[in-house]
Amino acid sequence: MPAQQQNQKSPPAKCTACRQPMSSPLFCDNCHCLHPADGSSHFELLSLTPTFDLDLALLRHQYLQVSRGIHPDYHGSGAEGDMSVHLSAQLNEAHRVLADPVLRAEYLLELHGGPAATGDKSVLAGVLTDTLELRERIADAKAGADPAALQECHAQIERRHATALAQIATLARQLPGADELRARLRATLNSMKYYQKLRAEL
């Protein structure tokens, strides 16, 4: 395994039942018992160091490995089976969030105590006007059955989306940072939602 991949993995915990080191916090490689994960972060579930620049191949590898260890097929029915189903759902959610750069940045911001989307709706300057104008141009292009104009709108949205994503990455790499940085990341993530929505509408 390359050094960078090793650096992204956190040290193993020990099984509370047999005291052997565990490669995943969710199950013991030695005695195969399952471990509750309440309070564990998405990164912890996958034994990954919390960082924006995740090695996606390692993320996939960890996900598949842990999935196999906790899979309901291997843990029968009853309490063990219920826990297996519960842990699998937690693991799937962790993988879904961490595999997506925008959701990953959002999650890291939350981990670092940044402002939540529910409480801070601020967006970057010009985003509201910009999306409003784009929406009008899309409506005009559709009304006028103008595929070239529609194509241009599409290209512009893609550019805005790529710019916002690059800004999110730059800011998320600097977490935890100061309040100002976290506020700016919040505003950039909020702005991104406008472009994602426009993208979905097209």
Return residues touching Zn ion (CB under 5 A): 15, 17-18, 28, 30-31
17 vs 117 by CB, closer to Zn ion: 17
What is the smallest separation between the CB atom of 28 and Zn ion, expressed in angstroms?
Answer: 3
8 vs 24 by CB, closer to Zn ion: 24
* C-alpha closest to that of 47 among 4, 7, 79: 7
What is the smallest separation between the CB atom of 62 and Zn ion, expressed in angstroms?
Answer: 19
What is the smallest separation between the CB atom of 64 and Zn ion, expressed in angstroms?
Answer: 21
28 vs 153 by CB, closer to Zn ion: 28
What is the smallest separation between the CB atom of 18 and Zn ion, expressed in angstroms?
Answer: 3
18 vs 57 by CB, closer to Zn ion: 18
